[in-house]
Structure formats: C-alpha cells, structure tokens
C-alpha cells in the first residue's frame, strides 16, 4: 500500500502550490499597493523656470547641437539679479508658441533694477521693460547654449 500522507503526495503537493501561490499573489498585491503609494506622492522636480506667469518644474538636461533653425527653440533667459529666483522661459506648456522644452540660452544683465518688479515671471514682462533697463545677449556661461528639458507642473 502507498502512503498518501507523506511530503510528495498529490494532496500535499496541491496544498504547497496553493500556499506558495497565495504567498506570491499576496506579495504581488503588496508590491502594487506600495508602488501605487509611491506614485501618488508629490513629484520631486527641481524648482525650474518661470513661464507665462507660472512656476514650472523640470528634470534633467540634454545638451543639443546648434539647430539650423533657431526658431524651433524657445529662448530661456538667465536674469542676473539677486531677486530673480529662477530663469524665465519665452513660452510654457499651453502656449501655442511653446516648442516642447528645447531651449536657447540667453543672459539678461540688469542695468536699472528700479524699473523692474522682481521676479520677472513672463516674457511679456521682460519685453515690456523700458529701453535700457536690461541687456540681453546670446548664451550663458554656466549652461549649454542649446539644450532640452521639459517644463513640468511644479509642486513646490
């Protein structure tokens, strides 16, 4: 007669599979809920740019070669003043002129800060400054001339 209660019986094998399978499914369920919680937390974007009067976050920078058509990029203005807390984008998401996070660096030197209400948060503000209040030049010493990084909702 065959002993059907030992460790290798069909009944014990079925129990082991069900038990181990239950642990696996339980572990996967736990993993999904932990992952779901992590995704629901506040994103950790760097405090990025001002654009169209709103603060934007950003992640990562990829340097780009100089394009044949610079109009395919938005200008990003690095305003050299202690009261300007972030660079200023020419356009931001939702603006029909936004080019998807491809940038051309410009330096803004402030000549007359009494004519400026800092921070400058939109391109219209920059363009509306009185003549001589700022000088704008292509490039910026600490950033690539052409680069890509998206503007993302800022959760600051």
Spatial CB neighbours of 120, under 8 Å, sequence gap ≥ 6: 50, 79, 84, 88, 126
**Per-residue confidence band for 10, with pLDDT thresholds at 50, 70 and 90:** low
Report domain extents, the chain: 1-41, 46-153
Phi-psi region of 101 (alpha: psi -120 to 50; beta: other; left: phi over 0): left
| 75 CB burial (10 A radius; 0-12, 13-18, 19+) | middle
- Residues 19-36: tens digit of each pLDDT: 444 433 333 333 333 333
Q: Which two tokens stand for residue 6?
A: 């030992």
Nearest to 118 by CA among 75, 156, 89, 80: 80
- Residues 107-153: tens digit of each pLDDT: 999 999 999 999 999 999 999 999 999 999 999 988 899 999 989 88
User: What's 30's DSSP letter?
Assistant: H
**Is the pTM higher than 0.85?**
no
Q: Do 98 and 74 contact (CB within 8 A), yes or no?
A: yes
């Amino acid at each position: 007669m065959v002993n059907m209660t030992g460790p290798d019986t069909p009944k014990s094998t079925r129990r082991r599979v069900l038990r181990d399978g239950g642990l696996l499914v339980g572990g996967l369920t736990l993993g999904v809920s932990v992952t779901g919680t992590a995704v629901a937390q506040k994103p950790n974007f760097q405090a990025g740019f001002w654009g169209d009067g709103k603060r934007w976050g950003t992640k990562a920078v990829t340097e780009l070669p100089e394009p044949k058509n610079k109009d395919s990029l938005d200008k990003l203005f690095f305003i050299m003043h202690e009261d300007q807390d972030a660079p200023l984008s020419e356009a931001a998401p939702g603006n029909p002129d936004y080019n998807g996070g491809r940038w051309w660096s410009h330096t803004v030197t402030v000549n007359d800060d009494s004519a400026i209400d800092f921070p400058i948060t939109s391109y219209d503000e920059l363009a509306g400054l009185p003549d001589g209040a700022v000088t704008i030049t292509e490039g910026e010493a600490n950033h690539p001339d052409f680069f890509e990084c998206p503007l993302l909702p800022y959760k600051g």
